[in-house]
Amino acid sequence: MALFEAHQLHLRFGDRVVLEDVSLAFEAGRLSGIMGPNGAGKTTCFNVLTGRYRPDRGRVMFDGADITGRSPQAIARLGIARSFQLMNLFDEFTVFENVAIALPQTRRRGADPIGQAYGDATVVEEAHELLDTVGLGARADHIAKALPYGERRALEIAVALASRPKLLFLDEPTAGLGSDGRARLAELVRRLKGQVTLVVIEHDMEFLFSLADTISVIHWGQVIARGSPDELRTNPWVKNSNLGKLA
């Protein structure tokens, strides 16, 4: 059994079917890629997998447990983290504080109404470690909203990593980045690979084909193809679609 499995997910918004019979499996330690055109239902799929939406039908399994319909916070505490396609940071906080607030130590002290906010000795150390990992070590004291776009993307990942996840969902991590930024992000994802199970939605085919162990193609809310990058290169649909340009 894979670390994370989705079985026959269905979801409708009104009379619009957005996910239809979507089944996915993500193996521990691997990087699974998800691709597909805009509006295909990729982000919605992440939203179902991470508890934001409850599917109309289907099941979501993590580590052998059924987590369908659990709240985002409950799922997060099981060790599943995510980044957002549209960035979602604590804008008024410093870079350091964005990460520190997401650390499990801070969460465990959440009911403490008089102690020092980040008084746990390990918080400063671990937050800096994480910031170094994503290349933001020198930015710790800057306000998040003042960061340039590429660094906000990196911070988005650092916040997700702060909860020490077993599984990390990244929704278009390179969206809006120039070639420099993409290269830096690819480098970061490459380093994360092996340390944490990754599931990455990405438009950038070069990025995905060079990093992913397996790729699923979602179109019209359905999984229309899946396989290793090599298998998908020869897939007729991928070849014919503009998604396959690079393959």
Partner 1 sequence: MRTGRTVPTLTPAMIAIWLAFATVPLWIEKVGLYQYLGVEILIFATYALAYNLVLGHSGLPSFGHGAFFGLGAYGFGLAQLNLVPDLWFCLAAAVVVASVGGALVAAFISHRRGIYYSLLTIAFGQVFWFIAIKSHAITGGEDGLLKIARLPARFGVATFDLTHNISLFYFVLAIFVVVSLLLWRLVHSPFGRILKAIKQNETRARFVGYDVWRFKAAVLVLSAGLSGLAGGLFAMAQSSAFPDVMSLHYSGYIVMMTLVGGGLVTFWGPVLGAIVFLLARDVIGAVTTGWMLWFGLLFVALVIHKPEGLGGMFIRPARPAPADAKK
Ligand X SMILES: Nc1ncnc2c1ncn2[C@@H]1O[C@H](COP(=O)(O)OP(=O)(O)O)[C@@H](O)[C@H]1O
Using CB under 5 A as the criterion, which residues of the chain lie in contact with Mg ion when the complex forms? 43, 85
Which of 17/89 has CB closer to ligand X?
Answer: 17
Can you tell me the distance from the alpha carbon of 132 to that of 37, in angstroms, rounded to the nearest whole number? 33
Q: Rule CB under 6 A: is residue 176 a binding residue for ligand X?
A: no
CA atoms of 148 and 44, how far apart (whole Å): 27
Q: Judging by beta carbons within 10 Å of its beta carbon (0-12, 13-18, 19+), is residue 131 exposed, middle or buried?
A: buried
State which of positions 122-181 bind partner 1 (CB under 8 A).
Answer: 123-124, 127-128, 139-143, 146-148, 151, 159-160, 162-163
Tokens of residue 74, six digits: 């409950």
Q: Give the tokens for residue 210.
A: 């060079």
Binding partner of residue 198 among ligand X, Mg ion, partner 1, none, CB under 5 to 8 Å per kind? none
Q: Is residue 91 a contact point for partner 1 (CB under 8 A)?
A: yes
Distance of CA 219 to the CA centre of its chain: 19
Give yes or no for residue 88 binding ligand X (CB under 6 A): no
- Shortest Å, Cβ 95 to partner 1: 9
44: contact with ligand X by CB under 6 A: yes
28, 56, 66, 119: which one binds partner 1 (CB under 8 A): 119
In the block, which residue shows the tokens 């930015």? 139
Angle at 184 between CA 28 and CA 180, to 5 degrees: 145
3-state secondary structure 58-81: EEEEECCEECCCCCHHHHHHCCEE
Residue ranges that bind partner 1, judged by CB under 8 A? 50, 71-73, 76-77, 81-82, 84, 88-94, 96-97, 100-102, 104, 106-107, 109-119, 123-124, 127-128, 139-143, 146-148, 151, 159-160, 162-163
Residue ranges that bind ligand X, judged by CB under 6 A? 13, 18, 36, 38-44
